[in-house]
Structure formats: structure tokens, C-alpha cells
Structure 1
Amino acid sequence: MKSQITNRMATVLISVCAGLMALIMIALVGYIFYQGLGHVTWHFLTTVASTFQVGGGIKDQLWNSFYLLIVTMIFTTPLGIAGGIYLSEYAKPNRVTGFIRSCVEVLASLPSIVVGLFGMLVFVNTFHWGYSILSGAVALTIFNLPVIVRVTEDALRSVPVALKEASFGLGVGQWYTIKNVLLPAAFPGILTGIILSAGRVFGESAALLFTAGLTSPDLDFKNWSPFAFDSPLNPLRSAETLSVHIYSVNTVAIVKDAPQVAAASAAVLALFVLIFNLSARGLGAWIQKRMSGKS
């Protein structure tokens, strides 16, 4: 009887904690939407931002956020998955492996402002990339790489050993087993790490202040050459993202509608993060079916 009471109390406590977390998230997102969605219009989404005139939009900042996300994930995803595969399947338990794990843990605990200062000193000044999308993407790669490495390693280790042994029993090699057996089984966990990293890219501002910059040229969406200064695809131009724009509007903007612009920008940012997460999970489910051979 005592064990049953304890079990019920633990179940109730865990359910209350889960409900509390969901309630906090719903309240936070609901408040952001309540404050900002009323100011979001098509004109706001397609107009160039302004720190001096009323009625500015977020067209360039919205594009910069997505473009920076794509460039960052191109760098982060293959490196992080490869690192997780190495630590899980190839690395031997020795001092070198322990040193690598310590480096990953230290990188994961670094504040974003420190990564931003490092990016400014190395990528902006030493490599002479300037305040650019490339500098910001590489800095965010350093910032997000430990997350995908650890998530990939844990996801691969959580795959039942019987699957690996069955594959080896058929006489196939280690890489074939990793590619066709372990990765499809561990894909949901790896996808969760990728989504978490992408969400951090969307919301990051401290590291981008020192690497991508606080300004953005008026983008010419008719010129998609990556070598033009005002081209949307130019990786060496400065790029104020949506999260940095929210900070800028709340600190240095002198327009009368700064609170409304900041609230609308925050609502758009939260909305696109939710849409991205749901879309990524749907795409991940489809990819997992393809990788596992299900129709």
C-alpha cells in the first residue's frame, strides 16, 4: 500500500511539473503574440527597417536570419554528426578521447558573448572577413557544435546493441552498419539536436553583435550575384538579424513606434521558430521513413 501511494504521488508530481512547463511556454508565447501580432502587417514584413522614421519594417532582417541559419547549419550539421559518430563508434577510451570530450564540454559551457568576442578577434580582424554573415555563421558554428556532437553521440549509444550485432553478424562493415542501421534508428534524437541548434541560431544576438554587425545594407532582391555588395546572397556583407534588430530597436532607435516595432519583431521571430520546429519535425519523420525503408 505504501509503495502504491508513493507511486501515485510521484506520478502526480511529475504530471504537475510537465503541465507547469507547458503552461509557462504557452503563457510566454501567448504574451509575445498578444503584444506583437496586432502590429504585424504585410507592409511591416516587406518594408526596409528604419531607426529614424516611423513605419519601418523587417524585410532585410528577416531574410538575414534565414540566410544566416542556412549557412550556419551547412557548417554545423555535418561536423557535429561526424564528431558524434567518431566519439560513439570509433574513439577508444584513452586520454586523447577524454581530452576531446573535455573540449566539447568546455565549448558547450562558453557564454555566447565570449564566442562573439573570439569571432571578432579571429574572423573579423585576423582573417579580415569584417562584420559579415560568414563571420557570424562560423562563430555560431563554434557555439552550436557541442550540442549536435553530444546529442548525436547519445542518440547512437541509445540504439540497442542487438541491432549492431545483427548487422555485424551478416558480415557487413562498420561504416555500412553506421549508415544503414545506426543512423536511421538514432535519427529522431539527432534531429532534436539539429532543431535545438537552429533555434539558438534564430534567437542568438550577443555573438552576432560582434561578428555579423548591427547594420545591414538595403538588399537588392533583383541581384542574386553573391559578389555584389547589396546582394542577398553575399556572405561577406554585414547582416543585422531579427534578434539583433530587436535589441537595436530597444536601445539605439529614436523612432516613436520603437515599442511596437520591437513587439512585432519578437512576435514574428517566435512565430517563425514555431513554424520551423513543426516543419523540421514533419520533414524529419519523412526522412526517417525513407532511411528505414518504410513506404
Structure 2
Amino acid sequence: MLKAKHVDRLMTGLMIGSAMIMAGILIFLLGIILLRGASHISLSFLTSNSSSFQAGGGIKNQLWNSFYLLVLTMVFTVPIGLLGGIYFAEYAKDNKWTSFLRSCVELLASLPSIIVGMFGMLLFVNVFGWGFSILSGALTLTIFNMPVMIQVSEAALRAIPNHQRHGSAALGATRWQTVKTVLLPAAFPALLTGMILSAGRVFGESAALIFTAGLTTPNLHFRQWHLFAMDSPFNPMRTAETLSVHIWAVNTVGIIPDAAQVAAGASAVLVLVILLFNLSARIIGRMIERGIKGN
């Protein structure tokens, strides 16, 4: 009995120690990035333009490109991922076909982003002829992020107790009516959390976008409302250097003398935005869950 207690204390200490080591590494990395980059963040840095080949300036275009590409990606990802999760959770039977589909989803979720980017370049850039564009990048990131959305949706729906399904069926509701009016509202907090976390994952992606969205951005005019004008910020067919790609570019292909300062400031902004996504996911999810439960 005494031996079992010692083993229990030892394993508890190892788990707590492992958690502290992981938290310490994360805090150290975030601290280094924020301390090095915070001094370079200013209003002009966020609202002025620059390129990987021009000293000074800011990250306005890159920041806009990141958010615009994120919105387009989520427009494609959320419906496809949600419908896929509904299928696996509510409609799919336990057979070889379903097992094969699950294996495909898991394989897609484990693919390196650079492999997905090369596939996107082959299909969207070359075969479809869209060139380096926001649309090519958004569809490539949809392939990259869709498996995660499917898995999040399935897990959120499976977490709902079966008595809610049975109660809806007892009232004469069809399976789709049960999904639409009972399960999706109940799973919405978890689904929203998954969407926001997926958005943070997309926002920080760079490898896939180098091959699909390009390394340059035209001089954008935010008063240009013609959708397909090359200087329109809303043109989905133009090239777009995102914030994460910009960080890579100024440190590799860029020739600007203040590359270290620009990269440090852009990295700090990127980390802060992703942290904001994660905190928002938790806060909004809890608020909606409390509202649904009436707490």
C-alpha cells in the first residue's frame, strides 16, 4: 500500500513537472518574441506600407491580406467541415467505407503544410490557371484546415447526450430537423471555439501560401471598389503576401537593411493576433454556453 502511494506521488510529480516545463518553454518563447518586437510596433508600423525589398514602412497590406485570406478560407472551410462532421457523427454507419473516409481525414490532417502548398500550386495555380492569388491560397488552406474542422464538428456533436436525440425523435422530428434545431444549437459553443482556433491556425500559416498566394502585393488602394482591379484590396485573383510570409521573406529573400526590426515587429503582431484568437475562443465559447444553459 505504501509503495502504491509512493508511485502515485512520483507520477503526479512527473506530470506536474512536465506541465510546468511545457508552460515555461511557451512563456519563454512568447516573452522573447514580444520583448524583441514590442518596441518596433507603432501606429505607423500598422498603417503604412512596405515590401520585402524596401526599408522602413509597415505591415498594413500584409495584415490586410492575412485577414482577407482568413475570411475567404473560413467561408470555404466552415460549411464543408461542418457538413462532414455532421455526416460522421449522425449519418455514417460503422463499416469499411466510413473507416476509409476517417483514415482519409486523419491523413489529410497529418500532412505537412508545405506538401499541401505544393498540391495547391499544381492544382489551383497551374492546372486551373489562377496563378499566384488569394483564391488559390484560400482553397489550399481550406484543404489544410478542413480535416480539423471535420474532427472538431464531429467531436462537438458526439458530446451531446443521446437523450436529446431521442426526445426530438419522440416528438416526430426527422433526423435533419433534429440536427438543425437540437444538436447544432447545443453544440454551437464548441463549434465556435473550434472555428476560432482554426482561424488562428490559418492566420499563422506561411509554407502553403508561399507556393499559392505569392511573395508580392500590389500597391493597394482602399478606395478602389472595382472587385477585379489589380490594386483593389478585395480582388481575389491578385497576389498577396501575408504577414507570416512577410516575416519569412524579409529574413530570406529580402534585402532591406532593417530586416531584423521589421521581422521582430511583424512576429510580435502575429503572436498577439493568434493569442487574441485563442483567448476569444475561450471567452466567447464560455459566454455562449452560459447563455444557452441560462447560468
Q: Do both proteins adopt the same fold according to a TM-score greater than 0.5, normalized to the shorter chain?
A: yes
Corresponding residue SS for 2:218: coil
Confirm whether residue 96 of structure 1 aligns to residue 97 of structure 2: yes
Contact 1:49–1:58 (CA<8 Å) still a contact in 2?
A: yes
Q: Aligned partners of 2:171, 2:23: CA distance in 1, in Å? A: 46
Q: Aligned partners of 2:122, 2:49: CA distance in 1, in Å? A: 30
Question: Structure 2 vs 1, CA of residues 177 and 8 (structure 1 numbering), >3 Å: closer, same or farther?
Answer: farther
Residue matched to 1:107:
108
- Equivalent residue runs for 1:54-73 within 5 Å: 54-73=55-74
Confirm whether residue 239 of structure 1 aligns to residue 226 of structure 2: no
Contact 2:196–2:280 (CA<8 Å) still a contact in 1?
A: no
Q: Aligned partners of 1:101, 1:51: CA distance in 2, in Å? A: 42
The AA in structure 1 aligned to 2:216 is T
Contact 1:112–1:143 (CA<8 Å) still a contact in 2?
A: yes
Question: Structure 2 vs 1, CA of residues 240 and 222 (structure 1 numbering), >3 Å: closer, same or farther?
Answer: same
**More displaced stretch, 22-31 vs 128-137:** 22-31
Question: Structure 2 vs 1, CA of residues 106 and 171 (structure 1 numbering), >3 Å: closer, same or farther?
Answer: same
Q: Aligned partners of 2:51, 2:22: CA distance in 1, in Å? A: 37
Measured after TM superposition, the shift of residue 241 of structure 1 is: 0.1
Residue matched to 1:200:
201
Corresponding residue SS for 1:210: helix
**Could you report, residue by residue, the CA deviation over 1:149-201 in whole angstroms, capped at 9, with x for unpaired residues?**
11211222222223322332333222232233322333343334323321221
**More displaced stretch, 112-121 vs 234-243:** 112-121
**Could you report, residue by residue, the CA deviation over 1:204-249 in whole angstroms, capped at 9, with x for unpaired residues?**
1111011000000011011133222111111111000000000100
Contact 1:184–1:288 (CA<8 Å) still a contact in 2?
A: no
Q: RMSD value over aligned CA atoms?
A: 2.0
Q: Aligned partners of 2:185, 2:250: CA distance in 1, in Å? A: 44
Q: Aligned partners of 1:258, 1:171: CA distance in 2, in Å? A: 65
Question: Structure 2 vs 1, CA of residues 85 and 14 (structure 1 numbering), >3 Å: closer, same or farther?
Answer: same
Measured after TM superposition, the shift of residue 53 of structure 1 is: 3.5
The AA in structure 2 aligned to 1:136 is G
The AA in structure 2 aligned to 1:130 is G
Residue matched to 1:29:
30
Residue matched to 1:135:
136
- Equivalent residue runs for 1:119-130 within 5 Å: 119-130=120-131
Corresponding residue SS for 1:201: helix
Measured after TM superposition, the shift of residue 293 of structure 1 is: 6.8
Confirm whether residue 189 of structure 1 aligns to residue 190 of structure 2: yes
Confirm whether residue 254 of structure 1 aligns to residue 248 of structure 2: no
Q: Aligned partners of 2:18, 2:186: CA distance in 1, in Å? A: 29
Q: What's the TM-score, normalizing by structure 2?
A: 0.92
The AA in structure 1 aligned to 2:78 is T
Corresponding residue SS for 2:172: coil
Contact 2:190–2:285 (CA<8 Å) still a contact in 1?
A: no
Q: Aligned partners of 1:111, 1:236: CA distance in 2, in Å? A: 25
Flag structure 2 segments of 5+ consecutive residues without an equivalent: none
Measured after TM superposition, the shift of residue 6 of structure 1 is: 4.0
Fraction of identical pairs, as percent: 60
Q: Aligned partners of 1:165, 1:7: CA distance in 2, in Å? A: 42
Residue matched to 2:18:
17
Corresponding residue SS for 2:22: helix
Residue matched to 1:284:
285
Residue matched to 2:42:
41
Q: Aligned partners of 1:179, 1:7: CA distance in 2, in Å? A: 46
Confirm whether residue 75 of structure 1 aligns to residue 76 of structure 2: yes
The AA in structure 2 aligned to 1:135 is S
The AA in structure 1 aligned to 2:135 is L
Question: Structure 2 vs 1, CA of residues 228 and 288 (structure 1 numbering), >3 Å: closer, same or farther?
Answer: farther
Question: Structure 2 vs 1, CA of residues 289 and 129 (structure 1 numbering), >3 Å: closer, same or farther?
Answer: farther
- Equivalent residue runs for 1:115-194 within 5 Å: 115-194=116-195
Measured after TM superposition, the shift of residue 74 of structure 1 is: 0.7
Contact 1:108–1:147 (CA<8 Å) still a contact in 2?
A: yes
Question: Structure 2 vs 1, CA of residues 288 and 173 (structure 1 numbering), >3 Å: closer, same or farther?
Answer: farther
Q: Aligned partners of 1:165, 1:108: CA distance in 2, in Å? A: 32
**More displaced stretch, 74-83 vs 18-27:** 18-27
Contact 1:216–1:238 (CA<8 Å) still a contact in 2?
A: yes
